[in-house]
Chains A and B, each alone.
Chain A
Amino acid sequence: MKKKLLIPMLLILILVLIAGAAEAQDFKYALSIFHCNIQYVIGGLYGFVFPPEFVNWDLGPDQTENMIIVQGFKPILDILQDHPDWTFTVEMQAYYAEVIAARYPDILQELKDLVDGGQVELVSFHYSDQMFIGFPYQDWKHSIDLTKKTFADLGLTLSGVVFCQEGEGAEGMATRMAEEGYDVMAWPVNLWRYLHGEPSEDPYYNFGDVHMIIAAKSIHDTVHGVDVSWTYMDDGELMAAGGIDPYFPWFFNTKPKAVAEYVAGVQALADQGYKVSSIGGYVQDMIDAGIPAADPPPLLDGTWQPDSTDGTSRWFGHRGLWGKDERDNHVRSLNMMAHREIVAAETAAQVAGLDRADVLAEAWRQLIIGETSDGTGINCFKGEVEFTIASSAEAFRIAHDVIDEAKQALGLDHVLIDSAAGTVIPGDFAWPGAAVAQGPFDVKIKTTKRTWKTKWFRLEGPPETYRLEISFSAGADNHAREIYVTFPGNTSDIITTTALIDDEVRTWRRADFTFLSGHWYLPGPIGLFGLGNDWWLVKDMANVHVIARIEDGSNDLRIEDESAPWFETITWDFYLMHGTDAQALALADSINVHPTLAR
């Protein structure tokens, strides 16, 4: 009797094990992200390393873009033509698609066919490769609207997946993703690791009202039998070029051997039963299988390789390989000057009864290009620095002309344009507040081979508000490139705003993070930081838009610029306010997002 029972039980057990194995095989995925960037060398290679007589190296902007498309991008599509069962995730800025359409209609058609056939999961969340986590929501909103229009006009269908330039990630993106119809965030694994150590084996996560996967994280989830391998997660152009990037045009070309090696690797996974899949398809399969999404830990705004770039510092103050030509604060504060000029121009035109939306659309486009990450990092050279300055300067010029036109229409020579209230009244510029001997607390300033002066001003309150003006002399030599200003904090909490959400203060507990290097950098997209005890710091971002450092074991917040032109005088303005979250948000908005400008 016992033997009779034992045999069926063994049979059942074997069947269960076989079923389990079959289930595991059903969830084997080979995923990819080809992060394609036509602004890899924004502005081209004029003056990069070699003087212009080395013509084959000194490619202009169009030639550089063409090289990137032909040598780096097309081979990705060609692989898919040869493997109709495979799907790759291909991310690009909308501007990339514009250039392909203008110069390579055959490649555009190839891309379109692959998108329509489900072989390219097309990803785009910004028009240019914009460092949007350091700027007001409005800038990205213009960018995403232009992105959607561009792809729609070209007949290219965007997927619901989001991956961004420099792997930008921020909790605030979840809200905007849901609003704009995106449903899966690809959060970079190294950003996660920097904040929290190695992630779990969970197949996917909740991200606000949408979902999230950890990009480049291999998964061996024995609970649900999910196995994920990544075939690619890097700059898309590097695959076919064998790891050489477009800064080296003599060597940046399609290398059949490199392509063959990549294809062989993917084929090996396919032969093992891995589905060479889209990210969206993978997440949908998890949902359909009833596999629950895990809840992520708190996440801070950042980028995909925070260990090597020291967080976001390389784009907001710190220097790279060609640091001698960097001037991050000039680039990023000019971005904010242009932002403010455009919103003021919109107000002025409206009050004057002028329809200049089309004119200002180009100003926004130029600003979005000016906010491209490569103007300040990772290793930007002079050509890239000045290209982003040139675009922002033109954005400013267009907007300023509209303001002039509006003033003429209104018959006013000197006006105050309040872009929050939507008013234009006669008036001249005046700094707010009266000089006082001291501010609410001591600020530590550290420079080398520069002198400085501080002035405090008390603004009319309530709330209690001060303006701090710090004027730095020109430096004696290039040791004077570093400027640090430390504000004392009274809390270990991290208090600031998250990218794309400008009307909400967010607070993270420091204890919820294990920073890999013991510190972290906050971009501060509207320039607002909480210091604790209801004190707030607001950077005047048209003067100072460099990074804020927080450090384990300290409550202080340090503003850092390590790329200040040593031969120039510099003035930074900060506001310090004692008040509520709402008052702090209103102050930051009135200075940085919707200011009053005298013109």
Chain B
Amino acid sequence: MRRSLLILLLVLASALVIAACQKQNNGDDDASPAPDDDTTIDDDAVADDDQIDDDTSPPQAQNFHFDFKFEIAFAAHMTMKQYSDLTLTAEFTPEQRFDVIAANAPLEGEGKLVLLPESYGRMIMLKFQGPALNRGPCGSRPVSYAMALTAKENNGYLVGSVTAYCGADTYTGHPARVMRLSGLQERK
């Protein structure tokens, strides 16, 4: 136990040095996403049902951008259009490759914003199709990705998953891998 504590202290000390160096580089502190209103979606970003029913003109889109932490230590980016009927289109680009996903190869997908009033929640759900990677658990099969991002109320910080399934248009069964995503939803 004492040995663990000693190692922990050494590790923390090293980490603080590294963190301090990094801070000098970019000044970023991911523990506290910017809380100001500019970075979170506002009430107008969510269309209500009346708007959907009455709106016969082409749906208006709002544009959003995400800089994600992908699997905690890596980066991914997404641009997203949200239409007045709450449908979404998006382009998701991870910077890091894993056995079920390629790096820097944009994935285009669509989905919807789900409002959950009984839990003051909202969820962004998107689906993407990716090519076969010829490696990892999916081998020569194409890979399908389900994204589910969750937040409460209109808070801008979303946390969730991008889950890889082996096979084209496959979003059920045993996933090949569940990967983590988190980041701020920012209006473009």
Tell whether A and B belong to one assembly. Answer: yes
The proximity string for A residues 310-328 relative to B, scoring 1 for CB distances below 8 Å and 0 otherwise, is: 0000000000000011010
A538-577 contact mask (Cβ, 8 Å, vs B): 1 or 0? 0010110000000000000000000001111111000000
The interface bits of chain A over 405-439 (1 if a CB of B lies within 8 angstroms of the residue's CB, else 0) are: 00000000010000000000000110000000000
Would A396 and B180 count as touching, CB distance under 8 A? no
The A-contacting residues of B in range 169-186, CB under 8 angstroms, are 171-175, 178-182
Cα–Cα distance between A188 and B143 once the two chains are bound (Å): 45
Q: Are A383 and B180 CB-contacts (below 8 A) given A49-B15, A542-B119?
A: yes
Instruction: Determine, out of B55-63, B101-109, B156-164, the stretch whose residues face the partner at the interface.
Output: B156-164
B18 touches A396 (CB 8 A): no
The verdict on B140 contacting chain A, using a C-beta distance below 8 Å, is: no
Say how far A233's CB is from chain B's closest CB, in angstroms.
Answer: 14
Alpha-carbon distance A324/B29, docked complex (angstroms): 11
Which chain B residues border A43 with CB–CB below 8 Å?
Answer: 72, 180
| A597: contacting residue among B73, B118, B146, CB under 8 A | B118
Chain B contact residues, majority secondary structure: mixed
> Measuring CB to CB, which residues of chain B are less than 8 angstroms from any residue of chain A?
1, 3-4, 7-8, 11-12, 14-15, 18, 22, 31-35, 49, 69, 71-74, 98, 114, 116-121, 123, 125, 146, 148-150, 152-155, 157, 159-161, 163, 171-175, 178-182
Nearest B residue to A398 via CB reads: B172
Please pick, from B73, B123, B173, B182, the residue contacting A396 in the complex, using a CB distance under 8 A.
Answer: B123
Q: Tell me whether A478 and B32 are in contact in the complex, defined as CB-CB below 8 angstroms, given that A58-B73, A362-B172 are known contacts.
A: yes
Q: Is B152 touching A568 in the complex (CB atoms < 8 A)? A: yes
Q: Does A400 sit within 8 A of B, measured CB to CB?
A: yes
Contact A46 B160 (CB under 8 A): no
For A52-79 the 0/1 string (1 means CB < 8 A from B) is 1000001010000000000000000000
- With A248-B4, A386-B180, A394-B161 known as contacts, the answer to whether A51 contacts B72 (CB < 8 A) is no
With A324-B31, A362-B172 as contacts: A52 and B73 at CB distance below 8 Å: yes
Q: Looking at the complex, which one of A46, A325, A428, A568 makes contact with B73 (CB distance below 8 Å)? A: A46
Q: Are B4 and A382 in contact (CB under 8 A)?
A: no
Interface residue range, chain A: 35 or more
Q: How many residue pairs bridge A and B at CB < 8 Å?
A: 154
Shortest beta-carbon contacts, A-B, top 10: A47-B72, A567-B35, A390-B161, A47-B73, A397-B148, A542-B119, A393-B148, A393-B160, A568-B155, A386-B180
Please, which residues of chain B bring their CB within 8 A of the CB of A397?
123, 125, 146, 148, 161, 163
Pair B73/A569 contact, Cβ less than 8 Å: no
Task: For A414, give the chain B residue with the smallest CB separation.
Answer: B49
B117, B119, B152, B163: the one within 8 Å of A394 (CB): B163
Q: Which of B18, B32, B150 contacts A389 (CB 8 A)?
A: B150
Contact B150 A396 (CB under 8 A): yes
CA of A386 to CA of B51, assembled, Å: 35
List 14 other contacts, CB 8 Å, given A390-B159, A429-B117: A248-B11, A330-B150, A330-B159, A337-B116, A389-B160, A390-B181, A393-B150, A394-B148, A394-B175, A397-B148, A398-B172, A400-B125, A542-B121, A569-B153
Chain A residues whose CB sits within 8 angstroms of the CB of B180 once the complex forms: 43, 383, 386-387, 389-390
Task: Kindly specify which of A237-245, A260-268, A524-532 makes contact with the partner chain.
Answer: A237-245
State how many angstroms separate the Cβ of A389 from the closest Cβ of chain B: 5
Report which of B11, B121, B154, B174 forms a contact with A569, defined as CB distance below 8 A.
B154
Contact A334 B148 (CB under 8 A): no
Give the complex CA separation of A179 and B131 in angstroms: 48
- B96's nearest neighbour on chain A, judged by CB, is A52
In the complex, chain B residues whose CB is within 8 Å of the CB of A565 = 155, 157
| Given known A-B contacts A330-B159, A337-B116, A566 and B3 have beta carbons under 8 A apart | no
> A147 interface residue, CB < 8 Å from B?
no
Most buried by A among B148, B154, B157: B148
- Does A359 interact with chain B (Cβ within 8 Å)? yes
Could you tell me the distance in whole angstroms from the C-beta of B167 to the nearest C-beta in chain A?
14
The answer to whether B123 touches A393 (Cβ under 8 A) is: yes
Please tell me if the beta carbons of B4 and A243 are within 8 angstroms of each other in the complex: yes
Question: Are A400 and B114 in touch, CB under 8 angstroms?
Answer: yes
Residues of B within 8 A of A333 (CB): 119
Most chain B CB atoms below 10 A, which of A382, A390, A542, A569: A390
Q: Evaluate contact between A382 and B72: CB separation under 8 angstroms.
A: yes
A382 to B149, CA, bound (A): 16
Q: What separation, in Å, do the CA atoms of A400 and B116 have in the docked complex?
A: 11
**Complex: how many Å from CA A243 to CA B150?**
37
Pairwise interchain contact A330-B73, C-beta atoms closer than 8 A: no
Interface residue ranges, A against B (CB under 8 Å): 43, 46-47, 49-52, 58, 60, 242-245, 247-248, 251, 324-325, 327, 330, 333-334, 337, 358-359, 362, 366, 382-383, 386-387, 389-391, 393-394, 396-398, 400-401, 414, 428-429, 474, 478, 540, 542-543, 565-571, 595, 597-598
- Which residue of chain A has its CB nearest to the CB of B174? A362
Contact partners of B178 in chain A: CB under 8 A: 366, 387, 390-391, 394
With the chains together, A401 CA to B14 CA distance in Å?
46
Q: In the complex, A205 Cα to B14 Cα: how many Å? A: 49
Chain A neighbourhood of B49, CB < 8 A = 414, 428
Cβ 8 A contact of A474, one of B11, B35, B173? B35
When the two chains form their complex, are residues B175 and A566 in contact, meaning their CB atoms are under 8 A apart?
no
A358 to B181, CA, bound (A): 26
- Using A334-B150, A397-B146, A569-B154 as known contacts, say yes or no to A46 and B7 having CB atoms under 8 A apart: no
Q: Which residue of B is nearest A322, CB measured? A: B31
- The one of A247, A393, A429, A598 in contact with B161, judged by C-beta atoms closer than 8 angstroms, is A393
Chain A residues closer than 8 Å to B174, beta-carbon distance = 362
Interface CB pairs A-B, < 8 A, 5: A49-B12, A244-B3, A389-B180, A397-B125, A566-B32
Cβ distance B109 to chain A, nearest Cβ, rounded Å: 13
Residues of A within 8 A of B1 (CB): 243
User: In chain B, what residue has the closest Cβ to A363?
Assistant: B172
Task: For A429, give its contact among B18, B118, B153, B173 (CB under 8 Å).
Answer: B118
Residues of chain A lying within 8 A (CB to CB) of residue B159? 327, 330, 386, 389-390, 393
Contact, CB under 8 Å: A46 / B157: no
A598-B149 in contact (CB<8A): no
